[in-house]
Amino acid sequence: MLQAAEQILPVQKTKTSKPIHVMMIDSSRAWLESLPLALHRFHFLRVIARATSIQECLDQIATLAPDLLLVDGRLYQDGFRELGEAFSIRTGECRVALFAQSLTDAQLQIAIHNRVHGFLSIQDTTDEIANSLETLTTTGTAISPNLRERVSTDDTGQLSVSRRTDLSGLTNRQLEVLAHLASGLRVKDIASMMKVSVKAIESHKFRIMSRLKIHDRVQLCRWAIREGLIAP
């Protein structure tokens, strides 16, 4: 269907000074082949690379220097904490967009924390995907029409999850501590990793547990699995 659409729809002229270089990461080889064909008529977009795994993508980022990463949300789900940290550290100025229709609200909130700025849906038309990718590079954020009930922006352009979740009210630092705690790291190890005192991590842990109404690490682990923040 995507290839057929490309044959009958007019070429879209560039709206930006130079083409936007896109790298696609998706476990479906059929999607990796069909979507670039459909996007070919948009001269302001150029798919410069495709990868079937997050690690393959991260290995190529420094060399290829894409403007945008377009990522399958299911791949992002599979290793949420590790992938989120890798993206936020290694992508630099590169913007990240997810096909996010399958993510839970808690996953959406963590993704926002990990510098994901674009949220797309596989239900989007080719025009909507192209417009979202262009908007992401020009304004810094983009939300699919199919996800606007779940993700919104304020007057300053800050992204947030529309429905209040258990994570609402936690600071970015507390979200980071939560991800480490849920993965099983000890307080001492988290403090060393984040270069803060053990007392500071204990304070964050207390506030997180109080917010989630959780009393021990076993409950926290179960909650994190249920919300898709760690693998079962």
For the segment 84-102, what is each residue's pLDDT rounded down to a tens digit?
Answer: 555 555 555 788 899 988 8
20: phi then psi, degrees, rounded to nearest 5: -85, 120
224 and 177 Cβ atoms separated by less than 8 Å: no
Q: pTM for the complete prediction? A: 0.71
79: phi then psi, degrees, rounded to nearest 5: -135, 60
59 and 70 Cβ atoms separated by less than 8 Å: no
Q: What is the residue whose two structure tokens read 């069909």?
A: 34
55 and 81 Cβ atoms separated by less than 8 Å: no
For range 68-92, the mean pLDDT: 66
> What are the extents of the domains in the chain?
2-161, 172-226
pLDDT score at 134: 94
**Considering only the top CATH level, what class is 2-161?**
alpha beta
Structure-block tokens of residue 47:
């798919």
- Decide which of 231 and 59 is more confident: 59
pLDDT score at 144: 94
- Answer yes or no: CATH 1.10.10.10 is held by domain 172-226: yes
Measured between alpha carbons, how far apart are the two ends of the chain, in Å? 36
Asked if the model's pLDDT at residue 53 lies above 90, the reply is no
Q: How far apart are CA 116 and CA 149, in angstroms?
A: 18
Mapped to the 3 state alphabet, what secondary structure does 99-154 carry?
Answer: ECCCCCHHHHHHHHHCCCCEEECCCCCHHHHHHHHHHHHHHCCEECHHHCCCEEEC
pLDDT tens for 188-222 read 999 998 889 999 999 999 988 888 888 888 888 88
- Decide which of 30 and 4 is more confident: 30
Q: How far apart are CA 151 and CA 144, in angstroms?
A: 9
Q: How far apart are CA 45 and CA 14, in angstroms?
A: 8
pLDDT score at 232: 65
Using a CB cutoff of 8 Å and minimum separation of 24, what contacts does 51-58 make? 51/23, 51/24, 51/25, 52/25, 52/26, 52/27, 53/25, 53/27, 54/25, 54/79, 54/83, 54/86, 56/25, 57/23, 57/25, 58/86, 58/90
Q: How far apart are CA 56 and CA 108, in angstroms?
A: 23
Confidence of residue 23 (pLDDT cuts 50, 70, 90): very high
186 and 217 Cβ atoms separated by less than 8 Å: no
Asked if the model's pLDDT at residue 46 lies above 90, the reply is yes
Confidence of residue 119 (pLDDT cuts 50, 70, 90): very high
